[in-house]
Amino acid sequence: MRNAGILRPLGFLLVASLCSWSVLGQSFDPRPQMTTFMESKQFAEAYQLGEKYFDEWAGDTKFDFLYGIAARKTNNHQSAIFAFERVIINLPNDIRARVALAIAYFELDNFKASRREFLQVLEKNPPNHVVAQVDRYINLMDQKIRMQRMRLYGSFSAGIGYDDNVSSGLEEGSVKVVLGNQLLFDVPLPIQSDNQRQVNLNLAFDYPITKDDTISISLAGGDTSYSELDDYQKTFADMKLSYNGVFEDSIYSYKLTGSFQPFWLGGEKYQDTLAIMLDNTWRLSSGSSVGLNLAYSDVDNTESDNLDLNTTSIRVSYLTFAFGSAHVFAVGGAADRVKQLDEKSQHNEKNALSLSYRNIWPLTSRVRLNSMLSYTNSKYLKANVALPLADENELPFTIVRNDDTVSASLGADFNINDDWVWNSKISVVNKSSNHPLYVFDKQVITTGVKFKF
């Protein structure tokens, strides 16, 4: 009995000790040790300790802040974001936690979220050193955004095709000019068909100068040649310098472009074109926009001064996404004026009105269909009173020319991979006129590949 009396208090003390140890183990505070680790830049150890006690301490603002810093320093950015968000939920005015959250977003390159958090910090009138820190990060953000938008890119394409009326000739093969019952002239305009080859090269460089504005330089060139009809070979080069701007709310954007385009026909220089264009776009919603294009060009023809033209044009377009595809409706007008107006050049002046519709329909992630339908009416201002013919005779025409042109095309693009695209297209043109020399039909079929880099 004496021994039992001695054992009873010993047992009580043992049970009490175990209970006390268990309670102390459950209530261990990792925050001081995490702070010590952080001060000695032992971020991995601080993060591991935080992970060990995460289930017990998550939700405590001091623990969450220390855990978030340790997570960010060890590149566990998503865990850091969640930790700082928990702090802000409990302490919405905690500037330090919101700055840390903004930095975590910044290090993930989520600049939109980072900027949002930094701006909320500034709204709380923080101390000057915090303002300086926020400004520094916003400037770094703008620099990184600009660097991400700076790029050099381009494409090379090659293809073959068939043009059933390269010369835009007449089905009858000639135009007979009759005065009364007498045949004055028989102007030969035969249809000439041929196989064609096409190559095109495009190279462009975008250099962002601000968060929203970019300067672009592009060089392009192309050649269409024929198996037999060498006189109809078409070669061009195109050099452009553009300034692209986007307003802060992204509702309005613009692009101002200057271009120089030399053109060769049949291997010989034909003309040079200088142009300036202003493209304006207003976003109406996430799926629609309105565009306004204004352009002015100066054409210097090397074969004849009578073909030196100044052209002013305007085009209004509406883009919308519906039924799984993009639709673009447009209406435009243009005015061609000769530089030196006389009897030999007056017939080249005209006013034109155009209507068009384009559709881009992605069938699958790799296959896309595109179609186009357009109508253009060209009203010439004066008659061609001295039309030169092949035998150097001149034939007067008193009829003022009026042309109607209908064009349609259907194409398909197949993305072989991220770099290669195979495309095919069929185009149809019908031109009618009250002047018999300018009436023709043609169909062109092309197929080829494009490499993007």
Instruction: Output the CA torsion sign for 91, 96, 97, 99.
Output: positive
The answer, yes or no, to whether residue 236 has pLDDT greater than 70, is yes
pLDDT in tens, 250-272: 799 999 999 999 999 999 999 99
Which has the higher per-residue pLDDT, 390 or 346? 346
What CA–CA distance (Å, rounded) separates 267 from 231? Answer: 7
Please give the pLDDT value at position 118. Answer: 94
- Report pLDDT for 172: 72
**For the chain, domain boundaries:** 17-147, 152-452
Q: What is the pLDDT of residue 212?
A: 81
14 vs 317 pLDDT, higher one: 317
Read off the pLDDT of each residue in 123-142 and give the average, rounded to a whole number.
Answer: 91
* Whole-number Å distance between alpha carbons of 298 and 162: 32
Is the per-residue pLDDT at 385 higher than 80?
A: no
C-beta separation of 123 from 110 below 8 A:
no
pTM listed for this prediction = 0.71
Q: How confident is the model at residue 348 (pLDDT cuts 50, 70, 90)?
A: very high
**Average pLDDT for 17-45:** 72
Q: Is the pLDDT confidence value at 393 over 60?
A: no
pLDDT at residue 16, as a whole number: 35
pLDDT value of residue 25: 43
For 17-147, the fitting CATH number among 1.10.274.50, 1.10.10.10, 3.30.420.40, 1.25.40.10 is 1.25.40.10
Q: What is the pLDDT of residue 147?
A: 77
Residue 383: per-residue pLDDT: 86
What is the 8-class DSSP label of residue 66? H
Q: Are 319 and 328 in contact (CB under 8 A)?
A: yes
Task: Say if residue 101's pLDDT is above 90.
Answer: yes
Reported as a single tens digit per residue, the pLDDT across 1-24 is 444 443 333 343 333 333 333 333
What's the CA gap between 84 and 120, in Å, rounded?
Answer: 14
Q: Cα–Cα distances in Å, from 116 out to 101, 128, 397, 428, 453?
A: 10, 19, 70, 52, 34
What was the pLDDT predicted at 247?
Answer: 85
Mean confidence (pLDDT) of the chain: 88
User: What is 152-452's CATH number, 3.40.640.10, 2.40.37.10, 2.40.160.60, 3.30.530.20?
Assistant: 2.40.160.60
**What are the backbone angles phi and psi of residue 287, rounded to the nearest 5°?**
-125, 15
Q: What mean pLDDT do residues 183-198 have?
A: 83
Lowest mean pLDDT among 17-21, 125-129, 311-315: 17-21
Q: How confident is the model at residue 195 (pLDDT cuts 50, 70, 90)?
A: very high
Predicted local distance difference test score (pLDDT) of residue 19: 38
Measured between its terminal Cα atoms, the distance across the chain in Å is 96
Beta strands in 247-366 (DSSP E): 252-265, 268-285, 288-301, 309-322, 325-338, 350-362
pLDDT of residue 394: 53
How confident is the model at residue 386, as a pLDDT? 62
Distance, in Å, from the CA atom of 80 to the CA atom of 74, rounded to the nearest integer, reads 10
Q: Is 227 exposed, middle or buried (0-12, 13-18, 19+ CB in 10 A)?
A: exposed
30 pLDDT above the threshold of 50: yes
Residue 210 — very low, low, confident or very high, per pLDDT cuts 50/70/90?
A: confident
- High-pLDDT (> 70) share of the chain, %: 88
